[in-house]
């Protein structure tokens, strides 16, 4: 099935899997501050300016991290940066996997075409300026998400907030496994066993990519998808939070030994 200009097949999935496209006459939200993701991955030109005073247009990544930090009450910027990076990774994987499984093709999500509103949540945070169909095979999906987005995003978050690259790639793998698990679950619920099998196959193939292969252990069977990562996203440092379901820890570690401003290892 060819991609339609509105990506209408994604709408029943809701939430993270939906992508607004250029068929909309205006942005999904009135007054939304959409910016091409290409601008998000470049170094912010805000040297010497306190983060709190930088407008969203000049520094969308910093704005998002501050928003997440405020929402969670995160004690360290790197915790919020990790959570923000994983959230954007989950959006990118969810959209692309769903297109590949439902259409057999994926849209070109080039950072110049895909626009992001860091002040919004799914599905109103992403807007694709033009739907350009690409093959839906594993290699193309890896290029569309890993190469074009997650590699530069990982570099930007590591450089700016000191979050370890291994941890960030663990976040990317966790987001991928979560997206694949949700798509598989929905497809099986709807009796679409072929779609479910395709979702599991794509997820397994992508997690074997050199950038993700060492991040954790995947089990993908007709009964579903499970994943155990080998790193921690730092969410346990949020007051009152525990560990995530795929965390390398079975319980929150003890008090951190490093100072709040230290770089994660």
Is residue 188 situated within a structural domain?
A: yes
Q: Which domain holds residue 165?
A: 8-23+57-237
Residue at 134 is within a domain: yes
Q: Classify residue 77: in a domain, yes or no.
A: yes
pLDDT for 235-265, tens place per residue? 788 888 887 877 787 777 865 444 344 444 4
71-85 burial, b at 16+ Cβ within 10 Å, e below that, comes to ebebebbbbbbbbbb
Is 205 inside a domain boundary?
yes
Rounded to two decimals, what is the model's pTM?
0.89
The predicted pLDDT at position 251 comes to 79
Residue 57 pLDDT level (bands cut at 50, 70, 90): low
pLDDT at 30: 65
pLDDT for residue 1: 72
User: Has residue 28 been placed in a domain?
Assistant: no
42 located within any domain: no
Query: What pLDDT shows up at residue 140?
Result: 98
Chain-centre distance for alpha carbon 150: 8
Identify the pLDDT of residue 223. Answer: 85
Question: Is residue 252 assigned to a domain?
Answer: no
The total number of structural domains that make up the chain: 1
Could you tell me if residue 47 is inside a domain? no
Report whether pLDDT(185) > 70. yes
pLDDT at residue 158 greater than cutoff 60: yes
Asked whether the predicted pLDDT for residue 14 surpasses 60, the reply is: yes
């Amino acid at each position: 099935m060819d991609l339609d200009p509105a990506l209408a097949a994604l709408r029943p999935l809701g939430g993270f899997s939906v992508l607004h496209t250029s068929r909309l006459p205006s942005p999904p939200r009135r007054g939304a501050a959409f910016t091409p993701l290409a601008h998000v991955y470049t170094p912010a030109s805000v040297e010497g300016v306190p983060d709190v005073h930088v407008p969203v247009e000049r520094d969308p990544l910093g704005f998002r991290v501050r928003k997440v930090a405020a929402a969670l009450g995160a004690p360290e910027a790197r915790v919020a940066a990790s959570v923000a990076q994983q959230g954007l990774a989950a959006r990118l994987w969810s959209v692309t996997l769903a297109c590949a499984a439902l259409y057999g093709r994926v849209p070109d999500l080039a950072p110049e075409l895909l626009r992001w509103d860091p002040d919004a949540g799914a599905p109103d945070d992403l807007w694709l300026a033009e739907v350009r169909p690409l093959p839906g095979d594993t290699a193309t999906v890896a290029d569309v998400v890993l190469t074009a987005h997650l590699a530069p995003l990982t570099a930007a978050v590591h450089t700016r907030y000191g979050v370890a690259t291994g941890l960030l790639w663990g976040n990317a793998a966790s987001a991928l496994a979560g997206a694949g698990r949700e798509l598989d679950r929905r497809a099986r619920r709807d009796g679409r066993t072929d779609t479910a099998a395709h979702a599991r196959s794509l997820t397994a193939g992508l997690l074997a990519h050199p950038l993700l292969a060492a991040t954790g252990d995947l089990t993908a069977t007709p009964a579903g998808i499970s994943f155990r990562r080998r790193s921690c996203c730092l969410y346990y440092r949020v007051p009152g939070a525990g560990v995530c379901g795929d965390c390398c820890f079975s319980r929150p570690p003890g008090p951190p030994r490093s100072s709040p401003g230290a770089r994660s290892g």
